[in-house]
Amino acid sequence: MTASELLRLLLALTAAGSFGIALVLLVRIPARRCFGAGVGYATWLLVPVAMAASRLPANGLTAELLYSVPTLGISTQAVSAASEQLSTSSGGAIVIWLTLWLTGAALAAFGMLRAQRRLLRRLGPLTPGNGYFTARAAPELPATLGLWPARIVLPHDFEARFDAVQRSLMLAHERCHIACGDPWINALVALLRCAFWFNPLFHLAASCLRQDQELACDAAVLATRARDRRRYGEALLQTQLSGTPATLGCHFGFGHPLKERILMLRTTPPSLPRRRTGLAVLALAAATLTTAVWAAQGSGPSYQPVREIQASRESHPPRYPIEAIRDGVGGTVTVLADIDERGHVVGARIEHSDPEGVFDAASLQAVVQWRFEPATRNGVAIREQVRVPITFSVTDEPDDATN
């Protein structure tokens, strides 16, 4: 993948991801209130769905369909315009943009890893026991840290601070995180934040997702422990996390605002049929979003390749070297020619020649004088590189070069 193609991919994924995030931010709270915290958390699946849909092959639908998805149509036009600028940008400018993006991504990753290491150092040595680990520090705990394997880490005073019911609830909460794959989801979110560090929507989405994640885990635990809601709330009040949560982990006490988590404990959880209805609605929304993003691509950029002007070739044919004629030598040459927006050859080099070096000079001298019809994308002339094969034969006139 070239630098230009990588930047186009980044641009398309940014637009699709931003649209998916905006949609989730609109529906997550209504979905939670109607169908439960689990469905509210699951709405974040719409973001990767939108990003994946943007990479589907361009369709052949007419532009009228875009009237049903005007926001996506506007986004597609913006991406197309930016892609055109990339197409006409010089290689140096593209490298600069790519370097800036990679630098930002590296700095974002470094900052997250540094915060993770600071947390682990603050916890100190972890002492294993009974399937869990114990740390000296207490404010950030209990928590699930790491990925493979994910470890439940408890504070050193876990037994003293909490009674048996609270301890059971908190451990069930952390085991629920592991069973749902939440540490891996958080790692993926961190990766997306690094890749799209320049987009504030991705950082806002990460914060909101962590809140929905904790609410969903609370709901899952209390679905089987409804009588312990009060004790669960008391445990939450004792373990509120101050500071930044671990990048690769889940914290029982994280999930501000606390009021929202406490209020959820007082509400009646939705019935199973209602939750299933919510999941069905979410699946329908994912299918609709996929179709909308796919439709918004239209038929893809209208592209016309470089075309040779035959009259120009005939006016400046390659000159057969006298030595090659005398020796009865024939051969082939492939020239790589850079064609600018006006159809002029602005650069040429030999890609392949056989026999090597015999016809190179004659081929280059001819090609640089030719004129071409430039390549176009969406009706706009762009720079393009084209292969020009030339055949030399002592018995025939030099063959026409083809693109």
For residue 317, what is the DSSP state? P
Alpha carbon 349 to chain centroid, angstroms: 36
pLDDT of residue 256: 53
Q: Tell which residue, 18, 21, 28, 22, has the closest CA to residue 215.
A: 28
Stated as kind and residue range, the H or E segment containing 352 is strand 345-354
Domain boundaries, the chain: 3-114+185-296, 304-392
Backbone angles phi, psi at 250, to 5 degrees: -135, 135
C-alpha–C-alpha distance, residues 32 and 1, integer Å: 41
Query: Cα(first)–Cα(last) distance of the chain, in Å?
Result: 22
Rounded CA-CA distance 374/372 in Å is 6
Residues 61-120 have pLDDT tens digits of 444 444 444 445 445 555 555 555 555 555 567 788 888 999 999 999 999 999 888 888
pLDDT truncated to tens, each residue of the chain (403 aa)?
A: 667 778 888 888 998 899 999 999 999 999 998 998 899 999 999 999 999 988 887 554 444 444 444 445 445 555 555 555 555 555 567 788 888 999 999 999 999 999 888 888 888 888 887 778 888 765 567 888 888 888 888 888 888 888 889 889 888 998 999 999 999 999 999 999 999 999 999 999 998 998 899 889 988 988 888 888 888 888 877 776 545 566 666 766 554 566 677 777 777 788 888 889 999 999 999 998 888 877 766 544 567 888 988 888 888 899 999 888 888 899 999 999 999 989 999 999 999 999 998 999 999 999 999 999 998 876 778 889 999 999 998 765 444 443 3
pLDDT of residue 334: 94
User: What tokens were used for 245?
Assistant: 């949560």
Q: Residue 230: in which H helix or E strand, if any? A: helix 229-238
Q: Which fold has domain 304-392?
A: TolA/TonB C-terminal domain (3.30.2420)
Position 347 scores a pLDDT of 92
Beta bridge partners of 387: 336
Two tokens, residue 325 = 């004629």
Where are any strands of DSSP class E within 99-219?
127-129, 132-135, 143-145, 151-155
Residues 154 and 135 sit within 8 Å (Cβ to Cβ): yes
Helix-helix angle 91-123:182-195, to 10 degrees: 140
Question: What is the model's pLDDT at position 193?
Answer: 94
Answer yes or no: are the C-beta atoms of 248 and 147 closer than 8 Å: yes
C-alpha distance from residue 32 to each of 27, 40, 42, 201 (Å)? 8, 4, 10, 21
Written as one letter, the residue type at 100 is L
Enter the pTM of the model: 0.66
- The encoded tokens of residue 102 equal 């990679």
Q: What is the CA radius of gyration of the chain?
A: 31
Token pair recorded at residue 277: 């209805």
d(C-alpha 113, C-alpha 246), whole Å: 9
